[in-house]
Amino acid sequence: MKKAFLGGRLRQLREQQGLTQAALAQRLEISPSYLNQLERNQRPLTVQVLLKINAEFGLDIQFFSEEGDARLLAELREAFQGDASQEQVPASQLRDLVDNMPAVARRFLKLHRDYREADELAKAQVLGSGENGPVTAARTSFEEVRDFFYDNRNFFEGLDDRAEALFENAGLVVGSAGDGLERRLRDQHGISVTMSEAGEAGWLRRFEAREKTLYLSRELQEGQRAFQIATQLGFLEATPEITRLVETGAFSDNESRRLARIGLANYFAGALIMPYRKFWRSAEENGYDIAWLARHFGVGFEATCHRLSTLQKQVERGVPFFFLRVDRAGNISKRQSATDFHFSKIGGSCPLWKVHSAFDRPGEILTQIAEMPDGRRYLWITRTVKSGYGRYGSPEKIFAVALGCDIQHAGRLVYSNGLDLDNPKAATPIGAGCKICPREGCPQRAFPMFGKPIVADSDSTRFAPYSANGDGAD
């Protein structure tokens, strides 16, 4: 354990417990003066003190983890850099804010998010015209729910525990859970499953409560069929936990709450088909081989990637992944992070990110060692996935899905075979988006960084609204 100055977190814990410095020092069997030095960051928090804190309070180790700090710091940096008209705040001051007043930092980010939404709504209303009137707020219910899952690190232990218990109680079998799930739905809830044509509506699952019938699209494959039945069981058997989680989400409207319930039921379904301990053990023993895990548990590539990003139990913890799904236009429709990697919400994603190359090599798994501007390196695994529910001539849905992890965990993955993980020169320098990326010499830069004026001796034609060349060779 490297030296960690986490006095702010220690003071936060003491205040939450309603203890004086003297009282906490007595419980930790250290002197009050030593505790005072710890809280004022004059001494680092040692392993011995951390173990005493854990034994005394049964504290989640994540309370003192620097992973959450790094993500919080990245979000603060983006918020402050996003306004070039204001004085820039030094990185050291942002670091002090995260270290000593994390609750204030999180509160600021919420206020900043609310400000941006209000500002975007005001601009949209000014631009709104015609018969339809003003447009609605930029932050949709979908985005609100997506942020809810992101803020919870895509991990809901209560749902995992319920799903694991149900898997054992129903006598389900790994890789072929569909029949057992259908039997559970029929025997415990009196609901039958009927395969039906989805028609032009394109639905995958439709539940008719009066008929006590769950209709599933004939287009579904076996694993997808099991997932949809498991989702319905989530609505029926995990309602108390789902309701509790939704109530903690502070959603703005009923549509967001409805989407959150669906998302949590889907999480339960994944946890039911891929129960935590069995899935975690299989992943660890097989080097997190996505294709092998998908075949073993009878699910698709994307579902396997999504499940891998949820293995965050304190005892049986998997590799902390970040997961995303992106389309050809660069729109990120899914983004989850179990670690400190921060997905930028402005400026788009980096064109040097290999996730964009996946569309040129469909179905092939690509890997990349990438380095962010802060010097941290990550291993990325990406591949295209597609689906089509319709007749001849209907367009297919195609996305690139990607899993990434910090380079320190890369050796646990089969995808690191043959890669020079210890060589910094083997990494591709990327950023979180041009508008907040400090790499001034990047040949793929599309916009100047916020707060950085274009100087006369720079390649300013790249950012000009019109290029005299006409051929893009600026």
Distance (Å, whole) CA 358 – CA 382: 7
Contact at 8 Å (CB) between 238 and 159?
yes
Determine, yes or no, domain membership for 176. yes
Q: Say if residue 152 is in the same domain as residue 264.
A: yes
Candidates 237, 235, 232; CA nearest to 169 is 237
The total domain count for the chain is 2
346, pLDDT greater than 50: no
Query: Residue 334 has what DSSP assignment?
Result: E
Of 273, 298, 323, the last residue of a domain is 298
pLDDT of 111: 85
Q: Is 95 left (phi over 0), alpha (psi -120 to 50) or beta?
A: alpha
354 token code pair = 């290999």
For residues 420 and 431, the model is more confident at 420
Contact at 8 Å (CB) between 260 and 143?
no
Of 298, 320, 352, the last residue of a domain is 298
Q: Say if residue 259 is in the same domain as residue 179.
A: yes
**Rounded to 5 degrees, what angle do the CA atoms 47, 50, 56 make?**
140
Determine, yes or no, domain membership for 77. yes
Q: Say if residue 23 is in the same domain as residue 69.
A: yes
Q: Which domain holds residue 43?
A: 7-103
Determine, yes or no, domain membership for 314. no
Q: Which amino acid is at 66?
A: E
Q: What is the pLDDT of residues 384-422, one digit of tens each?
A: 998 765 566 667 789 999 999 999 999 999 999 999 999
pLDDT of 124: 55
Distance (Å, whole) CA 274 – CA 271: 5
Distance (Å, whole) CA 71 – CA 88: 19
pLDDT of 43: 87
Q: Say if residue 173 is in the same domain as residue 280.
A: yes
Confidence of residue 473 (pLDDT cuts 50, 70, 90): very low
Contact at 8 Å (CB) between 293 and 283?
yes
234, pLDDT greater than 90: yes
Determine, yes or no, domain membership for 168. yes
**Which residues are CB-contacts of 465 (< 8 A; sequence separation ≥ 6)?**
none
Determine, yes or no, domain membership for 256. yes
Q: Say if residue 32 is in the same domain as residue 153.
A: no
Q: Say if residue 193 is in the same domain as residue 279.
A: yes
Question: Lowest-pLDDT range, 61-70, 164-173, 185-194, 463-472?
Answer: 463-472
Q: Say if residue 70 is in the same domain as residue 148.
A: no
pLDDT of 359: 93
Q: Say if residue 90 is in the same domain as residue 163.
A: no
Q: Say if residue 68 is in the same domain as residue 199.
A: no
Determine, yes or no, domain membership for 175. yes
Determine, yes or no, domain membership for 89. yes
Q: Say if residue 144 is in the same domain as residue 75.
A: no
195-233 b/e (C-beta count within 10 Å ≥ 16 → b)? eeebeeeeebbebeeeeeebbbbebbeebbbbbbbbbbb
Confidence of residue 345 (pLDDT cuts 50, 70, 90): low
Q: What is the pLDDT of residues 106-148, one digit of tens each?
A: 888 888 877 777 766 665 555 554 444 444 445 678 888 888 8
379, pLDDT greater than 70: yes
**Residue 336 CB burial class (10 angstroms; 0-12, 13-18, ≥19):** buried
Tell me the CATH number at 94.
1.10.260.40
Q: What is the mean pLDDT of residues 448-459?
A: 58
For residues 45 and 403, the model is more confident at 403
Q: Say if residue 204 is in the same domain as residue 276.
A: yes
For residues 66 and 368, the model is more confident at 368
Q: Which amino acid is at 28?
A: L
Determine, yes or no, domain membership for 49. yes
Tell me the CATH number at 240.
1.10.10.2910
For residues 364 and 59, the model is more confident at 364
Contact at 8 Å (CB) between 228 and 203?
no
Most confident region among 2-16, 238-252, 331-345 by mean pLDDT: 238-252
pLDDT of 314: 81
**Which residues are CB-contacts of 216 (< 8 A; sequence separation ≥ 6)?**
193, 194, 195, 196, 204, 205, 225, 228, 229
**Residue 257 CB burial class (10 angstroms; 0-12, 13-18, ≥19):** middle
Q: Say if residue 196 is in the same domain as residue 272.
A: yes
Distance (Å, whole) CA 168 – CA 158: 16
**Which residues are CB-contacts of 214 (< 8 A; sequence separation ≥ 6)?**
185, 191, 192, 193, 194, 205, 206, 207, 208, 228, 229, 232
Where would I find the H helices in 194-300? 222-237, 239-248, 254-273, 276-285, 290-297
